[in-house]
Structure 1
Amino acid sequence: MSDDQTSEPERDEATLGRIETEVALLMRLGEATRRATGTAEHRVLDRAAYVILRHLAAAGPQNVSALAARLDLDGSTVTRQVSAMQRDGLIARTPDPSDGRGTVISPTAAGLQRMVAVRAARTRLYGEILGDWTADDRDTLADMLARLNRALEARTRR
């Protein structure tokens, strides 16, 4: 069968296979790029701390349960990460105003400073990697990645 004779279900299956392969490769290369990048700016936060700080900066102070639910992680995992971040001075715990027994977590100035430095370094890195792409191509990639992330997030919320 020639390409123009391929059935739509076969084309869809082939396209979905390509997407799966490219997403797997993206994840592997994204992590490899992060590890291989020589600048210290990329290493001032581990990936988990960066994600937590980005979320807290956007959403505001939260308790561990809300943070774990939003990041789709186990509460004990987030508790360990938050404890390490607190030891490193990246987050602070304060009494929860809505529940005197609990605490809420918020980023410290040092935590926000590191998060901003990592975000800036990553933005520069992607600027270099995508330097020969047109502005329209970069916009399209950003839009499609956002759309994919929304679909993935919706899937995890089922």
Structure 2
Amino acid sequence: MTATDAGISPADALEFSAVRGIEYELRTLVRRIRLSKAEVARKIHEEMPPSTYTVFVVVAEHQPTRAGEIAEVLDMDKSVISRHLAALTELGLIRRDCDPDDRRSHTVSLTELGVGKVREAIAMRWEDISARLEGWTRQDLDAFVAQLQRFNAAIE
């Protein structure tokens, strides 16, 4: 679609073209991230869906944590999070403990197996990302991080 097709004035055509390029690159990046996440999830456990891997990572980053806190971080319904936590418990990757502050509630944290699998996942992601950034200077990396932070802040 051209700027003219979209009803964009010639004065705004350059910006339209840039935004279209950004949109395309973001779509490509999201697709590749989804594929990569699915691959890492399968390597952790052949039955783990990518969405459960996302919950697994949040547990690792925030443990001990509650289902409600995970739901907030991921902006998902607590019932969906509960299903993912049940699957992770069944796989032996997390454990549920009584919350010491509220005995009616439970916290979740990684099991020993879960800790090992998180380490494997971090190593896989590190190798994958660092290989793709080979040849980038420290200045390139810092600029990329800054632009991503700026863009993410604008989305919030």
| TM range, smaller chain | 0.7 to 0.9
Tell me which residue corresponds to 2:117: 114
Structure-2 change in CA distance of 1:33 and 1:90 (3 Å): closer
On the 8 A contact 2:96/2:106 being kept in 1, the answer is: yes
Kindly indicate whether structure 1 or structure 2 has the higher relative contact order, using CA contacts under 8 Å at least 6 residues apart.
1
List, as ranges, runs of 4+ consecutive aligned residues in structure 1 with deviation greater than 6 Å: none
Structure 2 unaligned segments of length 5 or more: list them: 1-9
On the 8 A contact 1:90/1:111 being kept in 2, the answer is: yes
Shift of residue 124, structure 1, vs aligned partner? 0.7
CA distance in 2, matches of 1:81, 1:127: 29
Shift of residue 41, structure 1, vs aligned partner? 8.7
Structure-2 change in CA distance of 1:97 and 1:34 (3 Å): closer
Structure-2 change in CA distance of 1:42 and 1:133 (3 Å): farther
On the 8 A contact 1:68/1:74 being kept in 2, the answer is: yes
CA distance in 1, matches of 2:108, 2:36: 30
1:18 aligns with 2:21: yes
1:145 aligns with 2:148: yes
Structure-2 change in CA distance of 1:92 and 1:150 (3 Å): farther
Shift of residue 33, structure 1, vs aligned partner? 4.6
Shift of residue 117, structure 1, vs aligned partner? 0.9
Normalised to the residue count of structure 2, the TM-score between the two structures is 0.77
The alignment of Structure 1 onto Structure 2 pairs a total of residues equal to 144
CA distance in 2, matches of 1:42, 1:120: 15
On the 8 A contact 2:60/2:118 being kept in 1, the answer is: no
Calculate percent identity across the aligned residue pairs: 26
